[in-house]
Structure 1
Amino acid sequence: MSVRSQSLPGGLLALAIGAFGIGLTEFVIMGLLPEVAADFAVSEPVAGWLISGYALSVAVGGVALTAAVTRLPRKQVLLGLMVLFIVGNLLSAVAGDYPTMMVGRVVAALCHGAFFGIGAVVAAGLVAPARRAGAIALMFAGLTIANVLGVPFGTLLGQHLGWRSTFWAITGIGVVALIGLAALVPARASADAPAGGLRGELRAFTHPQVWLSLVITVLGFGGMFGAFTYIAFTLTEVSGFASGAVPWLLVLFGVGLFAGNLLGGRAADVSLSRTLVVVLAALTVVLAGFALTAGSRPLTIAALVLMGGFGFATVPPLQMRIMRYANEAPTLASGANIAAFNVGNALGAWVGGLTIAAGLGYTSPIWAGAGLTLAGLGVLLVALRLDRRRSSRPATEASREPATVA
C-alpha cells in the first residue's frame, strides 16, 4: 500500500506516541513500587505482581486480542486499543485498592501486544517496501524513548507529586495518541485487513519459517533481557557502583536502545538476514565480554551502551522477518512475535535467576544471556540454510516465499 508522502511522518509519529505511552506504563511502575506498596498496605513482593501480571497479560493479549480483531479494519482496531489503554491507566490512577489497580494494569496490558503487532503492519504499509524495517523502527523508537526519558521523569513525577500523578500523565499521553491516530494515520491504512479473517491469519503458521522466527525472537531477545533483569546487582556488587548511580547508568543503556533500534531498522532494509546474523553474533560477543570485564567500571559503561544497542537492534529485523514470511496474513503472526518478545523476557529472567540461586554470582545471568543469544543465532543459521534449500527449487515454487541471503 502506498500513501502520499506528506501522510507518512504524521502516521508514524502517532504510532510512536502510542508506543511511548505503552512503554512508559509498562516500565515506570518499577520505580514507583515502594510508594504503591505503602499506599495499598501490601508488601513489595505483592506489589511486584503489578509487573508480572502486566507481562502475562501482554503475552496473552498479543495473540488472543489480535486474533479476535483480524476481520476489522486496522486503523479502527488501533483506535479501540488506545481507548483500552486509556481506560486501563485511568483505572490505575483512581484505584482505591490493590485489586482495582491490578485490573487497571491488566486492561492496559491487553492492548500492548496487539498494538505493537498491528501497528508494525500499519507502519510497514505506510512506506515503500525498501523502507519497511525502518518504519517499524520509527514506531518502536517511542518505546525506547520511554526507557531513556519517560521512565526517569515519570518516576520523578510520582515521587514528588504522588504515584497517581504519573498514571494521570500516562492517561493524557494516551489521549494525545488517540487523537493523533485518528487524525494522522491514513484511512487507507485500514483497508488491508485480510479477507480470510482468522482462518487466513492462522494459515500463516503453516510456514516453518514463521515458527523458526518466533524461536529466534524468544532466544535472541531473551538473552539480552536475562542479562538486564539483574543488572542492578551486577553494577553494585561486581562493578562497585553506588546504588544512586544505577538510574543514570540505565539512561546510558536506554541511549543504546534508541540508537540500536534505529540503526537496526536501517540495516535490515538493506539486508534483513545479514543484519540479524551480524547483530546476534555481536550481541553474544558483547555479553560475554561484559561478563568477563564487569569488574571494570569504564568497560562496564561501554558494555551497557553496546548491550542496549545490539539488543534492541534485533527488534525491527525480527519483527520484519516474521511479517515477511507471513506476508499474505501478517497481523496475527506480528502479534505473536510481540508475545514472543515477552516470553523471551520471562525466559531470560528465569534462567538468570536460576544461575544466581545456584550460587554462580551476579555475572552468571550475563553468561546465561550470552548462551541464549548464541542459541538464537544457531536457530537463525539453520533457518537460513533451510530457506536456501527451498529457494533452490524450481522458480514457480520458490517464488511463493521471499528469498534470503546468507
Structure 2
Amino acid sequence: MSKRNKLFIFILTLGVFGILNTEMGVIGILPQIAEQFNVSVSQAGLLVSLFALAVAISGPILPLVFSRFNRRGVMLLVLGVFVISNIFSIFATNFTFAIIARVIPAFLHPVYISIALTAAASSVSDKEIPKAVSKVIMGVSAGIVLGVPITTFIASIASIDAAMTFFAIVNAVAFIGVLLFVPSMPVRERLSYGSQLRVLKKAITWHSIVAVIFVNAATAGVYSYFAEYLATITHISGKGLSLMLVIFGAASLFGNVLGGKLLSKNAIKSVMIYPFVFGVVYIFLFFMGQFTVPMFIIVVIWGVLYAIASNISQYWITSAAPEAPEFANGLFLTSGNLGVTIGTTVGGLFISGMGVRYIVVGGLLFLILSLAFILLRIYMYTPKKQISH
C-alpha cells in the first residue's frame, strides 16, 4: 500500500472516528449532562438513543440518495455539519436544544461511513481491500470504545463544554484533511436502486436484521449506562471511572482483532456461541458488579465481547446480502443503531422502574431474543457441513 493510500485511508478513518466519537462519547458523561440540564440520567440517555434512531432511519435511505454525488464533496458536507452541530452543543442552554444539535447531524452519519468503506476499498488492489476496510472499521471501534474514556477524562479534569469542544476539534481536523488531501471522487459506476432494494425481499435478510437489532440492544442497553452502573453499584467515579473506561476501550480494540479472526475461522459457530458467552458475563456482572476486583476482570472480558458484536453484526447482514454490499452496510448501520435506540430506551426504563443494577436483566433478555433469530437463520439457511467446519 503506497504512502498516499495510507494517508487517504487514515483521513477516512479519522473522520469515522470523529463521527462515532460524537455519537458515543457522551455515554461516559451522561450523569454530568443530567445534572447540568436538570434531567434524570434516563432522560439524558435520549442523547444516545435519539442519535441512534436518526442513524437507523437514514441508514438505508440517505447513502442511496447521495450515491450519485461526488464522494469528496459529500464527505466535506457531512463533516462540516458535524463540526457546526458540535459547536452548537457547546453553547446549548437547555436540554431540548442539546438534543436538536445532536439529532440533525445524526441523519448524515451513515452517509459518511458508507462512503468511507467504499472509498477505502476502491483505493487499493483487490488483494488489499480487506486490510483497507478493516482500518476504517477500526475507526468505528475506536470511536465507540476510546471516545468514551477520552471524553470522560476531559470532562473530569475540565468541563462538559471542553468535552464537546473535543468532538468539534476531531471533526474539524478530519474536514481539513479531506479538503487538503482527498482528491475529487466522482461516482463512475453504481448499482441501481431497484437491484439493491431487492435484497429486502429475502427472508434471510430480515432474520439477520432482527438478530443484529437484538444483539446491539443487548450490548448498548447495558453499556450506555456504564458510567452510572460503576458509580452507583461499584462505587467508582472520577478518575477511577476514566481508568475503567480506558481498560474497557483497550480490551475492545483487542476484541475487534479477535472478532475478525474468529469469523475467518468459523463464522457460523462464532455467531451462534456469542450470545451464550456474553450471557455468562452479564450474569457475573449482575451478581459481582459491586466488588471492585471482580468488576475489573468483568470489564476486560466485557470490552472484548462488546467489540466482537460489531464484527458479528456486520458479517451477519452483509453475508445475507452479498449482491448489494453498500446497501447491506447501510442496513448494518441501521440495524445496529436501531438496536442501540431500543436497548438504551429499555435500559432507561429498567433504571426508572427497578434500579441501575437491573439493566443487566434487560441485556440478558435481548441476548435470548438475538439467539432465537440467529438459530432460526442457521436452521433455515445453513448447511450442516458449513456449521461444523
TM-score (norm 1): 0.79
Q: Of the candidates 153, 168, 175, which is equivalent to residue 178 of structure 1?
A: 175
The number of equivalent residue pairs is 386
Query: Is residue 348 of structure 2 the alignment partner of residue 347 of structure 1?
Result: no
User: Hey, what does 1:200 align to over in structure 2?
Assistant: 195
What is the alpha-carbon distance in structure 2 between the residues aligned to residue 384 and residue 192 of structure 1? Answer: 37
Residue 286 (structure 1) aligns with: 281
Q: Is the 8 A contact 2:205 2:321 kept in 1?
A: yes
Letter in 2 for 1:381: L
Give yes or no for contact 2:50–2:341 (8 Å, CA) kept in 1. no
1:294-309 equivalences under 5 Å are: 294-309=289-304
Q: Check whether the contact 1:225–1:344 (CA below 8 A) recurs between aligned residues.
A: yes
- Within a 5 Å distance, the mapping from 1:20-39 to structure 2 comes to 20-30=17-27
- Deviations along 1:183-221, one digit per CA (max 9) or x if unpaired, are 666877x6575231x222212212222222211211112
Q: Residues of 2 paired with 1:228 and 1:157: CA distance?
A: 20
Name which of 49, 54, 61 aligns with 2:51: 54
Q: CA deviation at 1:134?
A: 5.8
Map of 2:369 onto structure 1: 375
1:248 and 2:238 equivalent? no
Aligned match of 1:263: 258
* 1:178 partner amino acid: F
Deviations 1:202-250 (CA, angstroms, capped at 9, x unpaired): 12212222222211211112212222234445434544x3434333222
Q: 1:169 to 1:227 in 2, by over 3 A?
A: closer
SS of 1:243's equivalent in the other structure is coil
1:316 aligned residue (311, 314, 318) = 311
Distance 1:156 1:311, change over 3 A: closer
Cα distance in 2, alignment partners of residues 246 and 52 from structure 1: 22
Give 1:355 deviation, angstroms. Answer: 4.3
Mapped partners of 1:69, 1:124: distance in 2:
18
Aligned to 1:69: 66
* Deviation for aligned residue 1:289: 3.0
Larger deviation, residues 302-311 vs 89-98: 89-98
Change (3 A) 1:294 1:161: closer
Partner SS state of residue 28, structure 1: helix
Tell me: CA distance 1:106–1:13, structure 2 relative to 1, closer, same or farther (3 Å).
same
Name structure 1 gaps, 5 residues minimum.
Answer: 393-402
User: Which residue is equivalent to 1:334?
Assistant: 329
Q: Secondary structure at the match of 2:68?
A: coil
CA distance in 1, matches of 2:96, 2:337: 23
Q: CA deviation at 1:148?
A: 4.9
Contact 1:133 1:317 in 2 (8 A): no
Unaligned runs of 5+ in 2: none
Contact 1:131 1:269 in 2 (8 A): no
Partner Cα distance (2:75, 2:266) in 1: 29
TM-score, with length taken from structure 2? 0.82
Kindly state the Cα deviation for residue 75 of structure 1 after the two structures are TM-superposed.
5.0
Once the two structures are aligned, what percentage of the paired residues are identical?
A: 25
- The whole-number CA distance in structure 2 between the counterparts of 1:231 and 1:37 is 15
The CA RMSD over aligned residues, in Å, is 3.6
Which residue number corresponds to residue 364 of structure 1? 358
Give distance in 1, aligned partners of 2:372 and 2:131.
Answer: 25
Q: Deviations over 1:250-308 (max 9, x none)?
A: 22222222221222123334443333234333222222233233344322211111112
Shift of the alpha carbon at 1:333? 2.7
Contact 1:73-1:193 within 8 A present in 2 as well? no
Q: Distance in 2 between matches of 1:337 and 1:276?
A: 15
Distance 2:350 2:171 in 1: 39
State how far apart, in whole Å, the 1-side matches of 2:388 and 2:183 are: 34
Question: In the TM superposition, what whole-angstrom CA distance separates every residue of 1:326-374 from its partner, at most 9, and x where no partner exists?
Answer: 2332223312221211221222234444445554x64432233133223
User: In the alignment, what sits opposite 1:397?
Assistant: none
Matching residue of 1:110: 107
What amino acid sits opposite 2:281 in the alignment? V
Give 3-state SS (helix, strand or coil) of 1:70's partner.
helix
